[in-house]
A and B are shown apart, each in its own frame.
Chain A
Amino acid sequence: MSDLDQFRMEARAWLEENCPAEMREPVRGEDDVCWGGRNWKFKNEAQKQWLERCVAKGYTVPDWPQAYGGAGLSAGETKVLRQEMARINARPPLSSFGIWMLGPALLHFGTEEQKVHYLGQIARGEIRWCQGYSEPGSGSDLVSLQTFGEDKGDHWVVNGQKIWTSYADKCDWIFCLVRTDKTNKYQGISFLLFDMETPGVSTKPIKLISGNSPFCETFFDNVVVPKHQIVGELNRGWDVAKYLLGHEREMISGGGLGDGAPSLGAQMLTSIGANGLGQLDDGILRAELAQFDVDALAFKAMAERFTDEMKSGKGHPAQPNMMKYAGTELNKRRHELVMAGNGSDALEWESEASKGGAKARNWLRTKANSIEGGTSEVMLNVIAKRILDLPGA
């Protein structure tokens, strides 16, 4: 038996013993996702138990080193663990921007002290992080950002405004791009970390077309940030930001993979009905669903290839942009088809039967996928320039 097979047996046995039955159900609503943080209210005992057991084992961040709260698994072992979790439909024990975005950046750019302190907090689900990137005047053209940190010796005083800060009103700390040199566009930005409870920080939720408010406006009014809370070098925050954006794009692209069910078309049999041949009773929609399933399975293979290539250093460094573009466009298509296939049932906005308009709201939410973290158009620009090496732009 190979080492990986051995590991698979162990992981399987551990999951069997430790993953509570309630945590093996599909994620049905927002509160089924455990985000952690100071103010987190566990939905039930099982959610708490599952998090605690995974924290103890290092399985909230299995591929991080043990010193920083991970399990120190190799790429192969991590893949096996994910396969085993998927096999029993285990929910992720902890979801967080700390794990997906800040963590990788800290692993790459952080000091040893920062790694031990912040990564440990992330791994244990103690601090919930948000991201301060976009500003009202700086969306796709992010590097034009204006939020300014004035040098006051041992600290900065930060003033300005961020927008589209995910869950800012629920988060404990922020990783934030702040201009620290007004004379240099790219090399005048620093990557700062600070507590959302610092005096001068305020948030205001933004109501979206889905009726939900996952994003906020975030205001900084003379916010004091100590100098040791910088990641990377002074004025080189753009390097950290770009690195992190790669991980963000990778994360968002995962939406294209759907809920793990292999076929969207097969899920539509009840709502659309079948004809005498057992085929969906809407020939044109059936064809669209079949094309979608082809594209979704192909993208699933791509996601696996992408992970394997990135882990082994074979992938193109700009490849996350391609994944983000393809994954989000696919996810938007998925939800268009969900709406079409479920007809007037999917139009209900409040009823219990519709789980409070879940289909409609999710559909509307996906429209942000190809905007947040870099628009599809920006992704195509990056592919054209960095991968295809096309001139100009």
Chain B
Amino acid sequence: MPMYLNEDQAMLRDSAREFLKSEAPVSHLRKLRDDNCKDGFRHALWKQFGEMGFTGILIGEDDGGLGLGHVEAGVVLEEIGRNLSPSPFLTTAIAGVAALNHGGQHLKDKFFPGILAGETVLGLAIDEGAKHRPSHIAMQAERSGNGFKLTGQKQFVIQGASADALIVAARTAGAAGETDGLTLFAVDKDAANMSLDNTRLLDSSMAAHVTFDGVEVDGDAVIGEVDNGWQVLSALLRAGRAGSAAELVGVGAGAMDMTVDYLKQRKQFGRLIGEFQALQHRAAHLYSEMEIARAAVLKAQQLLDEGKDSAEIYVSVAKAKAGRTTNLTVREGVQMHGGIGMTDEYDIGFYMKRDRALNEFMGDANFHAGRVAEIFGY
């Protein structure tokens, strides 16, 4: 597979670019923030995602989807990042679907039609502490009758309060720190003994703290096999990490474009500030890093789509590289904008906030660099 988009993928990018630029540009996010939107996204936009076919990218053709891959998912996510468009796309249509693809047909039948229509929203209940440590999951799922009883707490559940169901990782055996003994469940939003505390994050998205106080689910709620949830969780995480890396590249690209434009407009000392070599070199360095990050992300997606083992390491390379690079780009972007970059009125600050949240999502650059070292055995 050559390392560039093929014709179909380029067409998908063009249509995603046009759609998001017109339907959900940064002003859309600003409005939603100013309206104090409790969902953190617009249901109407999510429906449009369904109409565009985006929500079916990872859903197989047998189940009514497009049966495409992670490269295509990334194409849409990069445009989402560029426009800071808030939606359940990454959590629901990419990471959530990647998990459900490992589940039984009854779960696909239950959730895929709603996802395809841009109606159903899934929340991912993975993290239990401030830092992403999936192997340290401690939440208990005890056998109870035909099903299980869940007890524990989760946090950083994006759009959890707006979700129709939560995908919950819990322990049916083993101890925190072990990858064996985990099981994934699809838990309906109205389950008894589950309470959600909805909270706004710095980037105007909504996330929930969720408390499970003996939440009963039946056996049908299990995604994949009991005790072998690590496999399902890994698929979910690979998709979510590659996807968030692609979105990060979009955030970085958007911030970079704004910054380079600004360098060509702002005058000081009687010259455009873009004429100053001190700024030119920093902008050129950002360009170089962004190009490399984009390549790393595409490589990870291609390896995922080809089902290669090396996808595992490249997903972490992609998340680490995109995380570090976009973080540098938004910081430099704000600095090069000078005072105006500090104002709420100007959009560059939104990019900085989004980067902060996406960097933390499913493991930051340090987590993934550490993972690369672990996989290489040092």
Binding site for B on A (CB under 8 A): 262-263, 265-266, 268-269, 274, 278-280, 286-287, 289-291, 293-295, 297-299, 301-302, 304-306, 308-309, 312, 314, 319, 322, 325-326, 377, 379-381, 383-385, 387-393
Question: Which of A290, A314, A377, A383 gathers most chain B CB within 10 Å?
Answer: A290
Interface hit among B76-84, B191-199, B347-355, B365-373: B365-373
B313 beta carbon closer than 8 Å to chain A: yes
Closest Cβ neighbor of B263 among chain A residues: A390
The residue on B at minimum CB distance from A263 is: B376
Using a CB-CB cutoff of 8 Å, which residues 240-273 of chain B contact chain A?
A: 260, 263-264, 271-272
Find out whether the CB atom of B264 lies under 8 angstroms from the CB atom of A390: yes
CB contacts (< 8 Å) of A305 on chain B: these are 3-4, 295, 298-299
Residues of chain A lying within 8 A (CB to CB) of residue B288? 322, 325-326, 383
Instruction: Provide the main secondary structure of the chain B interface.
Output: helix
A301 contacts B370, CB within 8 Å? no
Shortest beta-carbon distance, A187 to chain B, in Å? 26
B3 → A minimal CB distance (Å): 4
- Which residues of chain B are within 8 angstroms of A302 by Cβ–Cβ distance? 291-292, 295-296
Contact (Cβ within 8 A) A298 B296: yes
Partner of A297, one of B263, B264, B271, B296: B296
Assembled-state Cα–Cα distance A304/B287 (Å): 18
12 examples of A-B residue contacts, CB within 8 angstroms: A265-B373, A290-B369, A293-B373, A294-B372, A301-B295, A309-B3, A314-B4, A322-B287, A388-B283, A390-B263, A390-B274, A393-B275
Interface segment among B89-97, B118-126, B146-154, B314-322: the answer is B314-322
State whether the Cβ of B284 lies closer than 8 Å to any Cβ in chain A.
yes
Least distance between A264 CB and chain B CB atoms (Å)? 9
> How far does the alpha carbon of A110 sit from the alpha carbon of B241 in the complex, in Å?
49
- Interface range on chain B (Cβ under 8 Å from partner): 35 or more
Q: For the complex, is B105 an interface residue (Cβ under 8 Å from A)?
A: no
Closest beta carbon of chain A to B330's beta carbon, Å: 17
Decide yes or no whether B339 CB sits under 8 A from chain A. no
A262–B292 CB distance below 8 A = no
Residue in A closest to B276 when the chains form the complex, CB atoms: A392
**B287–A289 contact, CB under 8 A?**
no
Contact A384 B281 (CB under 8 A): yes
Contacts A266-B378, A286-B378; A377 near B295 (Cβ below 8 A): no
Q: CA A287 – CA B366 in complex, angstroms?
A: 8
- B376 & A266 in contact (Cβ 8 Å cutoff): yes
